[in-house]
Structure 1
Amino acid sequence: MIWTIRDLKKKARKLLKNCYWPAVAVCLLTTMLTGWIGSAGIGIGRIQAENASGLEMSEQRMRELKDDLKDRNPIAEYKISIVQKQLNLLVFVFAVTASIVIVVLGLLVIFCIGNPVKVSSKRFFMCNRKRTANIGMILYVFRNHYTMHVTVAMFYRTVSIIGHGLLLIVPGIIKHYEYSLIPYILAENPTMQYKRAAQLSTKMSEGQKMAMLKMDLSFLFWEIAGIFSLGLVSVFYTMPYREFAKAGLYEVLRQNALADGVCDSTELPGFETDLGV
């Protein structure tokens, strides 16, 4: 089955019109959870800033005390220096510990909550191509007890993409598009092993990566508009529009894979009988 960016985007706009507010809500919830690491980074920065400010005031106070006692009591000055070093060490340990805790919590939210929600959101957009699905589908992975399996699979995907990206930028981009269909495959079959999902995604995206990149670039204008609107255009139009377009692309590549014998209907059963829960 041949596809064009224009046809996919045209169909996406039509689907978005019929399911606007639920699609916006799903995108907003998904972004909030998968983007939590940004909030964690802000929290770390605030803690470090506050600690640095407190440390600066402590050092200033210590200098005042030492200057006051310098000529009168050398022993007291020495003791204050020891106290200052101990205080500096205590503040440093607290800042590092707090930063580590925030980072760990952020990563847990991303992988254990954000990724299952991301996979569930893909199912939402795929199902809405057939019929109206409710927002509750964003909890599909949790409700059906696929959380651990999906979390582990998405973790492997992230590590693989980042690993290739650390080598060179281009291999990272290639791997990103090579594995870009894994969330959709898991949304369709949450019990599939990661290795098989990766194989299918690789095969289905074969010869399609450049076209997929062009499709992402076709949303560049809307991304820029989102930046200038402080994210409003992104939340209320670009994200749901793009998700419907990508769901349409996955459907085409899925049909091609079934027709070419890359997989069968037992592996990718489709969404025709999905009740939206």
Structure 2
Amino acid sequence: MWTREMLKTEAKSFLKSNYLKAFLVSLLLLFVGSGSSGGSSSNTNVSTDFTMQEGAGFWQSVIESSSFGFLWGFGLVIILLLIVGSIAFRVFVGYHLEVGGRKFFVRGAEADVDLSHLTSSFVSGSYSGVLTSMLYRAVINFLYYLLLIIPGIIKSYAFSMVPYILADNPEIGYKRALELSEDMTSGHK
């Protein structure tokens, strides 16, 4: 059985010799968004009722002008394209880098520190298996969040080991990876 002291000593020895690589991998994972899957919502309901205010005619004409409407629509299209682009980047690149980052740290604990582990799912031919498993995990977790917040949080902990499982065996299958992750976290949430 592992003890806290043993794990801490091994982690210190790993970081002592590989701190820069571990920092760069962590920084890359931060930028591709592997630790967070949150979103925000905003209220874009703009009230145009200026009849009680002074100068209402000027502002009413500005809002109703076709050039302002065009700019509003163009800005909305740009924002939607950025959102869709960031989601696509997260799905098609970020998931693979997340699994590669987990593989880097797991192999690093075994004294196999190589930055090529980051891109292993791109190169090894396991792209579709990792993509399917991680996407399935995200969809199932999203559906649990739709029930209520608490079931979503519990399932996000239950599915937290999926990247580690895929780092060891990327072709395990999406359902089996989720089952193993739930078994591994059972009683530890």
**TM category, shorter:** 0.7 to 0.9
Q: How does 1:2-81 map to 2 (within 5 A)?
A: 2-5=1-4, 7-34=6-33, 63=58
Distance in structure 1 (CA, Å) of the matches to 2:9 and 2:62: 71
Please say if 1:92 is aligned against 2:72. yes
Q: Work out which structure has the larger RCO, using CA pairs closer than 8 Å and 6 or more positions apart in sequence.
A: 1
Does structure 2 conserve the Cα–Cα contact (< 8 Å) formed by 1:112 and 1:147? no
2:121 matched residue in structure 1: 141
Which range is displaced more, 169-178 or 103-112?
169-178
Does structure 2 conserve the Cα–Cα contact (< 8 Å) formed by 1:19 and 1:132? no
Deviation (angstroms), 1:159 = 2.0
1:123 matched residue in structure 2: 103
Please say if 1:190 is aligned against 2:170. yes
3-state SS in 1 of match to 2:71: helix
Deviation (angstroms), 1:173 = 1.9
> Deviating runs (4+, > 4 A) in structure 1?
2-7, 81-84
1:172 matched residue in structure 2: 152
Distance in structure 2 (CA, Å) of the matches to 1:82 and 1:174: 49
Does structure 2 conserve the Cα–Cα contact (< 8 Å) formed by 1:115 and 1:151? yes
Q: Which amino acid aligns with 2:153?
A: I
Query: Which TM-score applies when normalising by structure 1?
Result: 0.55
| 1:50-76 alpha-carbon deviations (Å, 9 max, x no partner) | xxxxxxxxxx9x949xxxxxxxxxxxx
Does structure 2 conserve the Cα–Cα contact (< 8 Å) formed by 1:182 and 1:201? yes
CA RMSD of aligned residues (A): 3.0
| 1:78-117 alpha-carbon deviations (Å, 9 max, x no partner) | xxx6995322321221111111100011001111111100
Does structure 1 conserve the Cα–Cα contact (< 8 Å) formed by 2:159 and 2:181? yes
Deviation (angstroms), 1:24 = 1.0
Does structure 1 conserve the Cα–Cα contact (< 8 Å) formed by 2:158 and 2:182? yes
1:181 matched residue in structure 2: 161
Q: How does 1:210-221 map to 2 (within 5 A)?
A: none
- What percentage of residue pairs aligned between the two structures are identical? 30
Q: Which amino acid aligns with 1:28?
A: L
Residue 138 to residue 83, structure 1, CA distance change in 2 (3 Å): closer
Does structure 1 conserve the Cα–Cα contact (< 8 Å) formed by 2:144 and 2:155? yes
Query: Which TM-score applies when normalising by structure 2?
Result: 0.78
